[in-house]
Structures are given as structure tokens and as C-alpha cells.
Amino acid sequence: MGAAAGGEGEAVRVLVVDDSPVDRRVVELLLRNHAAAFHVTTVDSGKKAMELLGLNNAGKQRSIDMVLTDYCMPEMTGYDLLQAIKALGSANPIPVVVMSSENEPQRISRCLTAGAEDYIVKPLRKKDVQRLRNCSAARSATKDAVAADDRRWSSVKKNDAPAPPPRPDTAAKKATSEQRPRRLAGAGLAMASTVDLSHYLQFLFKFILLAYAVLCLTELLHRWSSGCFLSQLP
């Protein structure tokens, strides 16, 4: 893991997640050399990204403004990392931008549906940096709106005004938070079933090949013992 300052002032703190050291270096150099200010931290796996973000309670959480993750990675894919970040249900979640060398419409739709702010085809170019800035600016605007709303409600309470009505999205957020564990559990069971079925099919295929090889060997031994090969010689 490495870090590099991208500038002073309101630097965008970007966490780059990619198992390829070459791709990580390319992204880091591109962001550092851009006119916009970026502070880049790189890790080589989704698990290390979760540790840095404090999602697995294994380490101290680091302040990150955006996560830029590769889609295809061993053990934990970029899509899995995206789901883990969005499952937190924060009012102002960390923007996640997925990058991949494959421009597949189904993959793009899958990531955007799961909550990704953008999907960028590798290799990253200078024009893609502005897309990252736009995602960060959108989050900053949302953060400011939430802070202003909280200050407004605090002012109302301080002046002993009548209690404000519940926010419309409170019930929806509560229902979502109650349903999320069930959805994640269902997804885990489905994934486990798929893995078990895949292992079973692989075992069955290997068993059939082994049985076929044994039959062929038995037939060859039978012919040899009966002199069929010798009778065919000139």
C-alpha cells in the first residue's frame, strides 16, 4: 500500500483498489499529475480496502472521499467491495467508481444498479479525471445539504418550537435497514448453493472421465491379451 499527496487545500482523498501493480501506478501518476488536487492511497485487494475503510472492524478507519476499484480481482471482486460499502446505509455514502478493461453493458448495468457512481473503461485517461471530480463534488454537495438540514432542525429544537414532523424518508430507511440483513443472508445462501453445485458438477465430470479412461484401458488390455494386436501386424 502506498500513498501520495495530490495537492493542498480541498484535496480529494481517493482509495485506488487494484491487484495489478502496473494499473495502480498508472492511476496514481495520472491523478497526481493532474491540475486538480488528489490525495491517492493504493491497495492491492478488496480485503485491504475494507480494513482501511474500517468495514471489518480490524483497523482504524481512514477518511476517504472516493473509492476507485477494479472490477476483476481475486478473492473479493470490485463488485463485492461496492456492495459492502453501499450496505452501510449511510446518509452520505462514499462514492464508488468501478473500472474495468471490459466494456460490457451487463456488467456496467450491474454496477450502476448496485450503487456505483460511475463505470470507467481502463486504461484511465485525462478526460476520466474530471468524471472523478464530478463524483466527489456531488458527494460534497450532498454532505453540505445534510449538514444544513441538521442545523435547521437543531435550531428549531433550541427555540422550544413544536416538535417537527418525522422526516418522510425515516420509515423507508428503517425498512431498508431491516430488510438488508435478510437480503445479504439470501445472497450468501444463493452464492453458497452455486459454489456447491459447481464443485459437484466438476467432481461428476472428473468421475465420468476417469470411468471412461478405465474402460478404454480395460478394452486395450483385453485385446492385447487375446492377441488382436499381433494378428493385425503384417
Q: How many CB atoms lie within 10 A of CB 77?
A: 16
* pLDDT band at residue 231 using 50, 70 and 90 as cut-offs: low
Mean pLDDT of the chain: 76
Determine the pLDDT at residue 138.
56
The structure's pTM equals 0.56
Please write the tens of the pLDDT for every residue from 19-55. Answer: 999 999 999 999 888 756 789 999 999 999 999 988 7
Determine the pLDDT at residue 88.
83
Cα–Cα distance for residue pair 38/22, rounded to 1 Å: 19
Cα–Cα distance for residue pair 99/72, rounded to 1 Å: 9
- DSSP H/E element including 119: strand 118-121
Please write the tens of the pLDDT for every residue from 63-79. Answer: 899 999 999 999 999 99
- DSSP H/E element including 16: strand 12-17
Query: Three-state DSSP class for 88?
Result: coil
Does the structure show a pLDDT above 60 at 60? no
Cα–Cα distance for residue pair 148/155, rounded to 1 Å: 11
Cα–Cα distance for residue pair 230/226, rounded to 1 Å: 9
Please write the tens of the pLDDT for every residue from 110-140. Answer: 999 999 999 999 988 888 888 888 876 655 5
